[in-house]
A and B are shown apart, each in its own frame.
Chain A
Amino acid sequence: MSTPFYVSPQQAMADRAEYARKGIARGRSLVVLQYADGIVFVGENPSRALHKFSEIYDRIGFAAAGKYNEYENLRIGGVRYADMRGYTYDRADVTARGLANVYAQTLGTIFSSAAEKPYEVELVVAEVGETADGDQIYRLPHDGSIVDEHGSVAVGGNAEQISSYLDQRHQDGMSLAEALKLAVQALSRDTNGTEREIPAERLEVAVLDRTRPQKRKFKRIVGRQLGRLLEADGASTEAESAVEEE
């Protein structure tokens, strides 16, 4: 029988973090931005069927970068958690803060448990408020920590660079078209600084729109609607009223 090598706890954790980060970095990045009427999710996703963004509850959306089967599991867990809570209490008692907490506990336990491999995912949980001040965005890295974000957030491979690009340019009260444009510009910058074109059909876009009359505020923006928003110039009230019509 061979004696196992001694590995210091610091080293073990660093190795696990390194493993998770590498997994996450393999996927494409995505960004979540606040705009005047809510929160917009933008990512590059060649698939029409496997979504990176989805609805969790009335005002809560979910975004994930990393390994599909792992974040899909967490997403379904979140939907079950939210629906269960809304069923036992009331719809108003389902909050992004509660959900983010449960996700953080889940990721944290898995990350530090020797029996499980760390999840290679980074999540964003966002809740749209009645006003922009009430919007909440939480970023949940692989190790179970929670970061309370404002304005804009990026997760995935090239996240740091994209974040700093967004931080410099994002403003409160941007229109949807402006926010979308900024997001696409940020995503189309490669690590080495060169820019490439991301065609509209490779973009996945969704919004949590507080002006929607329905109680469920999550909506995907696809097809012509997306095209119109991307073409719209700066102050694009026209394109936005077109979104409301559909």
Chain B
Amino acid sequence: MEANTRSTGRLPAAFLTPGSSSFVDFLSDYQPDLLPGNRKLPQVQGAIEAPHGTTIVAVTFPGGVVLAGDRRATMGNVIAQRDIEKVFPADEYSAVGIAGTAGLAVEMVKLFQLELEHFEKVEGAQLSLEGKANRLSTMIRSNLGMAMQGLAVVPLFAGFDVDRDKGRIFSYDVTGGRSEEHGYAATGSGSLFARGAMKKLYHRDLSEADATTLVIQALYDAADDDSATGGPDVARRIYPIVTVITEDGFRRLTDEESAGIARSILERRLEQPDGPRAELL
């Protein structure tokens, strides 16, 4: 048991008090110091150097949504990690991709996953997709103090809305502001370039296979122009992480699947380095 079990070893009263189905709420009553947002921050001058995750992209297609991320983490001008994982399942029907300070982001995702699972176990039902998106908003907001010291976390949240029967994407800003994106979205340092690519390639009736190809194209374009975003690393066999969420739930493409798409894109780009061309008019 945790710290204050008292002498008998029985469950502390806080555990047996009926109340919120939220794990974060429970933690803030019982051991507030364990919550990421409640830590005291030392005053420092300037930004702290810590690994940053870079580009995350998402695209909806009829029947679901695809969320993908590159594999690079940078610390200033140094590549901190080549094979970082930045896209995680949040629960059966949603996923979250993170850009920003990697350490804090991974902790936030861990707590977010737990929050959804805890609610599901206590209530015996899943939160609505909007509900999940709002919980994530609250967590980002609690990180505002860190964000103001340069340690921001800006995730992209995507999921399959079982009630509306379609894939949806939510993007966030550092203050926890949440907005629903239609069609496609990107976050992180390479997001401008990725968004430009997706704008030209996206259309309403993409198949699942089209959508997975589209996100890797967009990540390729982001890596092309943004030094902090990593492209497919053929020599080390490190390829983007691509996840698909449909009515059947969350699925992460295997390394082979992702490598297959990345390689065929690479093949084409040997002849056409800027990628597929859109119509002029």
Do A83 and B114 touch (CB < 8 A)? yes
Residue A51, interface by CB 8 Å = yes
Residue B164, interface by CB 8 Å = no
Q: Classify the secondary structure of B's interface with A.
A: helix
Residue A87, interface by CB 8 Å = yes
B116 to chain A, nearest CB (A): 11
A88: contacting residue among B2, B9, B121, CB under 8 A: B2
A83: contacting residue among B1, B16, B18, B117, CB under 8 A: B117
Chain B residue contacts of A55, Cβ below 8 A: 121
Please tell me the size bucket of the interface on A.
20 to 34
Q: Which B residues have a C-beta under 8 Å from some C-beta of A? A: 1-2, 8-11, 15-16, 18, 23, 26-27, 30-31, 34, 110-111, 114, 117-118, 121-122, 124
Do B34 and A87 touch (CB < 8 A)? yes
Chain B residue contacts of A80, Cβ below 8 A: 15, 23, 26, 118
What are 8 A-B interface contacts by the 8 Å CB criterion? Answer: A54-B124, A73-B18, A81-B11, A81-B15, A83-B114, A85-B2, A103-B11, A108-B10
Do B10 and A102 touch (CB < 8 A)? yes
Do A87 and B111 touch (CB < 8 A)? yes
Do B121 and A79 touch (CB < 8 A)? yes
Q: What's the Cα separation between A101 and B1 when bound, in Å? A: 10
Q: What's the Cα separation between A85 and B114 when bound, in Å? A: 11
Nearest 10 CB-CB pairings of A with B? A105-B9, A77-B15, A106-B10, A105-B10, A109-B10, A77-B16, A77-B11, A106-B11, A109-B8, A80-B15
Contacts A79-B122, A105-B9 known; 7 new A-B pairs at CB < 8 A: A49-B124, A76-B18, A77-B16, A81-B15, A83-B118, A86-B114, A105-B8
> Per-residue 0/1 for A27-67: is the Cβ within 8 Å of any B Cβ (1 yes, 0 no)?
00000000000000000000001010011100000000000
- In the complex with contacts A73-B18, A74-B16, A56-B1 CB distance below 8 A: no
Do B124 and A51 touch (CB < 8 A)? yes
Do B124 and A79 touch (CB < 8 A)? no
Chain B residue contacts of A216, Cβ below 8 A: 117
